[in-house]
Amino acid sequence: MDKLIGKARSKVFFFLLLVFCNLSIVLTIGALPALEFSMGFADAWTNTQSTATGYHNGWNFSADANWLFRISIDNKNLTKVEEKIPSRVSTILSPGLHVQYISMSASNWLSDGSRYRAWSAIGLGPELEFGLEFLDSIMMHKNSLLFSMAYLANFSNYTQTTLYSAYNSWLLKVSWNTKIDRGPAFFAALPLEFAFRADGKSVLSGLVMGIRYEF
């Protein structure tokens, strides 16, 4: 009986192996470390439960260290000529670490004659990026549309004071990258950050441009 069970298991195993080896679709996964640097302008809106919303503007500088996984789908039934051409669409998955520095001006004057102070902050936290990469598009050799989410711990200071505080924030970002490959790539991004600061909640947005290098 044990021998019969063993033979049956062996047949099932070899059958599954045969099916797997003859699948017409195969996933190809490549991984690369990448560094990213960007800068741009930023806008912020701050409010509390007892005051009106104030508007700030300023600058944003950031850096990312990521491990980039490129997952492409290849068809085994392609001709030899077509096999030399990489998959035209790949999925990008990129976990990493995000660090940023923001510097915001004092807000506009509020209706009660007050305004929010100018402030700056350094943020650090884990980030997850995902999206699609397109090969041989009209304008560039490679383009990709990426979305990212990060959870940041921030240390802030009111400008020209000794007042410091810490807060957490969520960062969402959509970016358009050109020519992602082994080498430099340029990108533009629209970040949106929800900051839970000590003196109120702030929503920050802007436009940043930068460069990414894959090793």
Q: Specify if 104 maps to a domain.
A: yes
More confident residue, 114 or 157: 157
Q: Specify if 101 maps to a domain.
A: yes
Instruction: Provide the domain count of the chain.
Output: 1
pTM of the entire structure? Answer: 0.78
Residue with tokens 């035209």: 88
Q: Specify if 176 maps to a domain.
A: yes
Q: Specify if 45 maps to a domain.
A: yes
Domain that holds residue 54: 25-214
Residue with tokens 């950031």: 62
pLDDT tens profile 100-145: 999 999 999 998 888 999 999 999 999 999 999 887 655 557 888 9
Distance from chain centroid for Cα 47: 27
CATH (domain of 162): 2.40.160.20
pLDDT band at 181 (very low <50, low <70, confident <90, very high): low
